[in-house]
Chain A
Amino acid sequence: MNVSRYTMQKVAFAIITTAAISVVIPLVLVIGYIVAQGIGALSWEFISAIPRNGMREGGIYPALVGTLWLTIGTAVTSIPLGVGAAIYLAEYAADSWFTRTIRLAIINLAGVPSVVYGLFGLGLFVIFLRFGMSILAGSLTLGIMTLPVIISTTEQALVAVPQSFRVVNASLGGTTWQGIRKVILPQALPGIMTGVILGLERAAGETAPILFTVAAFFLPRLPHSVFDQTMALPYHLFVISTQVPGMPIRIQYGTALVLMAFVLTMNLLATLIRRHYRRRRQW
């Protein structure tokens, strides 16, 4: 009996360890494979030239710039609103049914399928507000989609600041807002930045929300204003891997590599900020 339950544990742990390894292996293989297949396509021309010959030659410059614009637009729309909402939840809101309704709404916003955000953006921004398919409409759509991530990570960062900081602020005669602005926000900033970057990372890689709100199939120039359509990296990868016959495989992998690099760099940045400040933190 004794032997069998220890054997049992060994078997169970072996299975569980195998499961965990099998979760990680595909990621490593896929990243390795994309790098191996895509690195050959990379050149200065690839990231700085306009696509030519039905996108089968040239570069991905307009798509790269478009994604950059959309990421900035997403940041501008989602950060102020998201951080504000998080401040309300962490510093002002009482534990009431009303607050609970807000939390419920945030959880639901996080669960709305990305393509439904696309429909919403089409209905509200593109058609109703007459922005047309534009960087503005796409950024607002992506911004709303990113909101729940920013709210929840910012709130966690705010709540993590010890209560004593608030007590000291009050004892020195500071108002709630003065305390937030001068004490709590600076302390929580690294955590907020980590959350914001992770949220923007998701937005940068999204395709479905921009399908009907901004993304252009092929537009061999840079956008002039926020009312312009633009190409975007994720949609470009979709287009060249499914919609264009005779597309050189090298260019497809090259585009996937650039997109992955874009997203993973943001991820790495978020991780580094978190590591760095966790070590320096005094509390």
Chain B
Amino acid sequence: MEDSAVPKEVDWREFSIEQLIRLMGMSAIGLVLLIFLFLIKEGAPALLEVPLSNLMGQRWYPTFDIYGLAPLILGSLLVTAGAIAISLPLGVATAIFIGEIAPEWVREILKPVIEIIAGIPSVVVGFIGLQIVSPLVREFTGAPTGLTALTGVLLLAYMALPTIISIAEDALDAVPQSYRNAAYALSATEWQTIWRVVLPAARPGIITAVMLGVGRAIGETMTVMMVAGNAARMPLGLDAFLRPVRTMTATIAAEMGEVARGSTHYHVLFTVGLALFIVTFLINLVAAASIFRRERGGGGRFLA
């Protein structure tokens, strides 16, 4: 570095470029903070303007200044839980197929296909939901409308699949080949090896996959807004899946365009956004922690 043979000019350029790149590297931290800051800036006033008992209520009726968040939160939880219940088994099974069973050429086809599924715009999924899935749901369930929580669940499940498949597959891939060989040496079948050895060893990674899938599903907006019916009612009871439901994301997307800037309604919508941000932040924090742990320790110690 302090070699006098290196011209000063190069030294200076090298230094400034390094600083610029370091700054760019740090930008991600700055952006997360900036997002948080602006959500608080626009959302926090709601907590002063609306009594807590109102926000905790069970009715969402902004026209009459009734801002109960419970139906929206439960709506988001309902469709997310439903979607993961479908996409977890389907996604892990597909990951096993790609990682452990499929021949090389099938794998080469499936990987880009999964990438394509991840790339379908959510508005197109919503459109297909309106045109194809919702009439089917109405026909099969006998519900008065096809725009139900179930319709949202089915489509969200499909949209969460690529995330779950790719991360679960990474987790399976990270299980050392020697584990499989050891199982085969004990005359286990391929399936016994997958079920008793590979899957347990990959469990932390699969949990990460599920969490990121949850994050994906809870944040999905357009599809849910288009197909889930958007009725802000408490989704309680066994038939909740067959009734329209409204999520936090759909509420923001549907109402933000029509509210006056700086109004209470406007601030409350930012509070909903802030809640979404915090929830996904926590989910990703835990998922990230497990990713870091895996990188350091390897999959081995989870076998015990």
Contacts and interface: CB of A to CB of B under 8 A. Distances in A.
A116 B219 contact: yes
A108 B218 CA distance: 14
Interface string A14-49: 011101101110110010011000000000000000
Contacts of B20: 84
A252 B29 CA distance: 41
B218 A113 contact: yes
Interface in B3-25: 6, 10, 13-14, 17-18, 20-22, 24-25
B28 A27 contact: no
B273 A115 contact: yes
Interface stretch (A52-60, A160-168, A199-207, A219-227): A199-207
Nearest to A206: B121
B95 to A, nearest CB: 9
Contact of B41 (A20, A123, A271): A123
A85 B20 CA distance: 10
Contacts of A116: 35, 39, 219, 252, 273, 276-277, 280
B253 A105 contact: no
Contact of A20 (B102, B218, B257, B291): B102
29 contacts: A9-B189, A9-B190, A13-B101, A17-B101, A19-B90, A23-B161, A30-B128, A30-B132, A81-B24, A85-B25, A85-B27, A92-B22, A107-B287, A115-B249, A115-B252, A115-B253, A116-B39, A124-B38, A205-B124, A207-B221, A212-B257, A234-B222, A256-B127, A260-B121, A260-B124, A263-B121, A264-B116, A266-B119, A267-B119
A102 B25 contact: yes
Nearest to A111: B284
A5 B285 CA distance: 41
A23 B90 contact: yes
A271 to B, nearest CB: 5
A172 interface: no
A237 B42 CA distance: 30
Interface stretch (B48-56, B107-115, B231-239): B107-115
A107 B288 CA distance: 7
Contacts of A103: 288, 292
B32 A108 contact: yes
A273 interface: no
Contacts of B270: 119, 123
Contacts of A263: 119-121
A101 interface: yes
Interface in B228-285: 249, 252-253, 256-257, 261, 269-270, 273, 276-277, 280-281, 283-285
Contacts of A64: none
A20 B39 contact: no
